[in-house]
Amino acid sequence: MRLFSRAALAAIVISLTACAGTPQTPIELTPATLAGKTRIGVVMAKLPKVDVNLPGASCLLCIAAASVANSSLTTHTQTLGYEDLPKLNADLAQALTKKGQEAVVIDEPLNLETLPDAAKGANLARKDFSSLKKKYGVEKLVVVELTTLGMERSYSAYIPNGPPHAILAGSAYLVNLSSNTYEWYRPIKLVRETEGKWDEPPKFPGLTNAYFQVIELGKDDVVKPFKAQ
């Protein structure tokens, strides 16, 4: 009994500790951030798989029921491409060049999993990017890190809270590779619902349209701060 209590306590502590990570707050791009000519690399993190997310379908049976209910949408969503998202770093580099920076387009997608975790602290980058300073010969690095791309339908257990929508989420940031600190950090979450009905298998034209809309909106969202400065 005593062993059981200790195990339960340990589980609670682990759960709470896991939730204790403070999300990075946004850091605005100011004219001071881009003062002076700096060699800045621009890279896309490896893009996530285009897929359907079902948040809120929390129990095992709920997940199974929601997955079955949305199987044709999942099949279709997984056929959708990235359009020109992989070239977003080129658009960013162009905007940086116009601001007088020496922008370097890094074509190879960055696999963040290969980088070591960094020390935690205010505005410190989650990963240790310092090794990339020498690798790419740059002083700073703009990273576009998308974590969710595709469709999302939220659930309350077995019941959907509404129709699915297209989603693009992640973050974009500028890291000073000498200090491994964020000098600009922008969380991204863009969703778009269909106009009219959504349940149009097998090609789901309404949701497909919404998907390409969030891609365009996402590109704007990342590049806009650099155009505004």
Residues at the site binding another protein, with contacts judged by CB under 8 A: 54-58, 83, 152, 154-162, 165, 167, 189, 191-193, 195, 200, 203, 205-206, 208-209, 212-213, 215-217
125/169 with CB nearer another protein: 169
99/189 with CB nearer another protein: 189
CB of 30 to another protein, least distance (A): 26
CB of 62 to another protein, least distance (A): 9
Q: Which two tokens stand for residue 86?
A: 């992989």
CB of 21 to another protein, least distance (A): 20
CA distance 217 to 209: 12
118/191 with CB nearer another protein: 191
139/152 with CB nearer another protein: 152
CB of 153 to another protein, least distance (A): 9
167/175 with CB nearer another protein: 167
Do residues 140 and 33 lie in contact, with contact meaning Cβ atoms separated by under 8 Å?
no
CA distance 7 to 1: 10
